[in-house]
Amino acid sequence: MANALGIIPARYASTRFPGKPLADIEGRPMIQWVYEGAVGTHLLDRVIVATDDRRIADTVQAFGGEVALTSANHRSGTDRAAEVARSIDGSRYDVIVNIQGDEPAVNSAQLQALLALFNNPGTEIGTLCKRIDTAEELISPNVVKVVRDSQGRALYFSRYPIPYCRDNTLLQQKLSDGVYMKHIGIYAYRPDTLRKVAAMQPSSLELAESLEQLRWLQAGINIYTAETDTENISIDTPQDLHDFIKTLHP
């Protein structure tokens, strides 16, 4: 298994849910759920929370986690993760995993599948995908779609349904056949690739669809995907948090 570093970018200033890394979930802040979930998989050699907010940093230190304070001027969690990797000499690791700070149910099987992608020396970035089963998901611009080659390498990501279905009468059959895949937004990088992508300027494809992974594809970087059958639970709003807490007591 690869020697892996996990970095959890966490910012306070969320538009829809300010302060959500500190939101209480049964007596523990969300960021603690994510941190302890990542450590508990036993797949990562080190886990660090990356934040620009002293309140989050103090909270992580209080529960015994490792935290790094970063610049407030990053465009994305990828750039924040890259700053931390530079500061601790991330080149010592085989793989650096960017773990979403608003997904409290860290999934061990997903991380294992993600890390296994790096057994292929051609993998520069690894990510996950899942079959789309409903037309509602397929047409939603909030669900990012991915098409892949026969080896699992990503060819394109889009907010639009891809591949295009010329005959709508066949749409349900294509959904049943697993033709359509949604992107699950967890990434892992080789250290030199993370440095490279963080130094890139936004590309025309990225700006068109507001998807940073298109910048990487447009630059010719190999992004390989592993399929998962597990849905990620992302907390974007207070209602999402309420719904997640209800799942803890079915």
Using CA atoms, how far residue 17 sits from 40, 172, 238, 239, in Å, is: 27, 36, 6, 10
pLDDT of residue 56: 96
Contact 5, 90 (CB under 8 A): yes
What sections of 41-127 are H helices per DSSP?
A: 54-62, 77-87, 108-116
pLDDT of residue 71: 78
pLDDT of residue 193: 97
Beta bridge partners of 225: 127
CATH topology of domain 1-103: Spore Coat Polysaccharide Biosynthesis Protein SpsA; Chain A (3.90.550)
Beta-carbon neighbour count of residue 58 at 10 Å? 11
Q: How far apart are the C-alpha atoms of 196 and 156, rounded to whole Å?
A: 20
Question: Over the stretch 79-121, which tens digit does the pLDDT of each residue have?
Answer: 999 999 999 988 899 999 999 999 999 999 999 999 999 999 9
Q: How far apart are the C-alpha atoms of 68 and 92, rounded to whole Å?
A: 17
pLDDT of residue 1: 58
Contact 190, 124 (CB under 8 A): yes
Could you give the angle at which helices 191-198 and 77-87 cross, rounded to 10 degrees?
120
pLDDT of residue 2: 72
Q: What is the enclosing helix (H) or strand (E) of 138?
A: helix 135-139
Q: How far apart are the C-alpha atoms of 250 and 81, rounded to whole Å?
A: 35
- Tokens representing residue 212 in the block: 């940073």
Q: How far apart are the C-alpha atoms of 159 and 182, rounded to whole Å?
A: 10
Please state the domain extents for the chain.
1-103, 108-231
DSSP 3-state of 129: strand
The reply to whether CATH 3.20.20.70 applies to domain 108-231 is: no
Q: How far apart are the C-alpha atoms of 49 and 51, rounded to whole Å?
A: 6
Using CA atoms, how far residue 233 sits from 65, 119, 206, in Å, is: 22, 27, 25
Query: Does 108-231 match 1-103 at the fold level?
Result: yes
Q: How far apart are the C-alpha atoms of 226 and 229, rounded to whole Å?
A: 10
Q: How far apart are the C-alpha atoms of 66 and 56, rounded to whole Å?
A: 11
Reading the chain (250 residues) residue by residue, the pLDDT tens digits are: 579 999 999 988 877 898 999 999 999 999 999 999 999 999 999 999 999 999 999 999 999 999 999 877 777 889 999 999 999 988 899 999 999 999 999 999 999 999 999 999 999 999 999 999 999 999 999 999 999 999 999 999 999 999 988 887 888 888 888 899 999 989 999 999 999 999 999 999 999 999 999 999 999 999 999 999 988 888 989 999 999 999 988 7
Question: Over the stretch 42-69, which tens digit does the pLDDT of each residue have?
Answer: 999 999 999 999 999 999 999 999 999 9
